Amino acid sequence: MDMKERLEQIKAEAIRQIEASEKLERLNEIRVNYLGKKGELTAVLKGMKDVAAEERPRVGQMVNEAREEIEKRLENFKQKMERVALEARMKAEVIDVTLPARKNNVGHRHPNTIALEEVERIFIGMGYEVVEGPEIEKDYYNFEALNIPDGHPARDEQDTFYITSDILLRTQTSSTQVHEMEKGRLPIRMIAPGRVFRSDEVDATHSPSFHQIEGLVIDKNVTFSDLKGTLAEFAKELFGDKTRVKFRPHHFPFTEPSAEMDVSCFKCGGSGCRFCKGSGWIEILGCGMVHPRVLTMSGIDPEEYTGFAFGVGLERIALLKYEIDDMRLLYENDIRFLKQF
Ligand code: DAH
């Protein structure tokens, strides 16, 4: 085969390979195979010594032409591949500016949490400590030490979930009072929020699990006036400056005297509306002076120390504050409801 034919063949094969290649890396391989130090065209140049001297310039020129042609094809094909790749990328990354923006969904605090933080803020501002007690309790802490002995009618009022005859799910956060008093660190100024349990049927105002906030103050010379002043201030902070309070005599086994506190209706100001069922007042919490027997059982001398306690339903506050009329809404975790707060 003469030199010219051979060169034509090499060139044609190189072009065929170039056009069949699918990746840029493949083009590089072809470049090396044909034009590289050990490539086919270089081999032809090396064989020049066998070519007659007068033929050499012509053959050299042919080799150069073949090299240039292959280089040109390589470059063209490379550009074509890059163009195709760029077009594909542009197509894939196209931004549709008419699409609606994606919303950043930020979480909301649960109404219970908002109400609790509000209550905590108020009492922390008055120098109270926030403490917690266990949800699973000994009968002693939930009843006995709160002056509710076996057989006391108050036990029936709080339908208790018993785990054993001696261990139960606390029915009231009042059990936390006992834990705090037992620590023996006086004076005490604490609130104790937490979950409580009663085997109640679910309805608009009842749930087998809800939350209370307990309050306890024990010091020398604490009187009922301190209780009234503190809780009146609490009501004002929570429901607004114009809020008035009223104490009605009541009975709790662990306080003596005991009372329930009403606040003037923050909706109508006390004149009577649908919200306060026409009475102008809304019942808000139970309270009283800690019973001397309760102090004694926890090792505090009632001759030296006195104190007051109170218990608030957290859900009740959340429902009132946000004018929600069904407690179940607080537990269903319906995002459409929760988003509003
Ligand atoms: N533990 C009571 C209840 O669950 C609420 C209560 C009333 C707590 C009076 C108190 C209090 O600390 O003094 O109904």
Which pLDDT value is given to residue 153? 87
| pLDDT value, residue 1 | 58
Average pLDDT for runs of 10 along the chain of length 341 = 81 90 89 88 81 83 89 92 92 89 88 97 98 97 96 85 95 98 97 96 93 98 98 97 97 97 93 91 97 98 98 96 93 92 91
- Residue whose CA is at the smallest distance from ligand 1 atom 7: 286
Q: Which atom of ligand 1 is nearest to the CA of 173?
A: 1
In this structure, which residue's CA is closest to atom 12 in ligand 1? 310
Mutate which of 252, 294, 317 for ligand 1 pocket (most atoms within 8 A of beta carbon): 252
Q: What is the pLDDT of residue 168?
A: 96
b/e 27-61 (16+ beta carbons within 10 angstroms → b): beebbeebbeeebbbeebeeeeeeeeeeeeeebee
Neighbour count for residue 116 (Cβ, 10 Å): 20
Residue 219's pLDDT is what?
A: 98
In three-state secondary structure terms, 159 is: coil
Q: What are phi and psi of 340, to 5 degrees?
A: -75, -10
Q: Where are the beta strands (DSSP E) in 241-280?
A: 245-252, 255-264
Q: Which residue has a Cα nearest atom 8 of ligand 1?
A: 311
Ligand 1 centre and the CA of 252: distance in Å? Answer: 7
Give 50-116 as a 3 state SS string.
HCCCCCHHHHHHHHHHHHHHHHHHHHHHHHHHHHHHHHHHHHHCCCCCCCCCCCCCCCCCCHHHHHH
Taking the centre of ligand 1 as the mean of its atom positions, its distance from the CA of residue 28, in whole angstroms, is 85
CA of 212 to the centre of ligand 1 (A): 9
Alpha-helical runs (H) found in the chain: 3-20, 24-35, 40-46, 56-92, 111-125, 139-142, 153-157, 175-182, 224-239, 292-297, 314-322, 329-332, 335-338
3-state secondary structure of 193: strand
Residue 201, number of CB atoms within 10 A of its CB = 8
Given a contact cutoff of 8 angstroms between Cβ atoms, the answer to whether 248 and 287 are in contact is: no
> In angstroms, what is the span from residue 286 Cα to ligand 1's centroid?
5
Q: Which amino acid is at 152?
A: H
Residues with CB under 6 A from ligand 1: 172, 174, 214, 252, 255, 286-288, 309-311
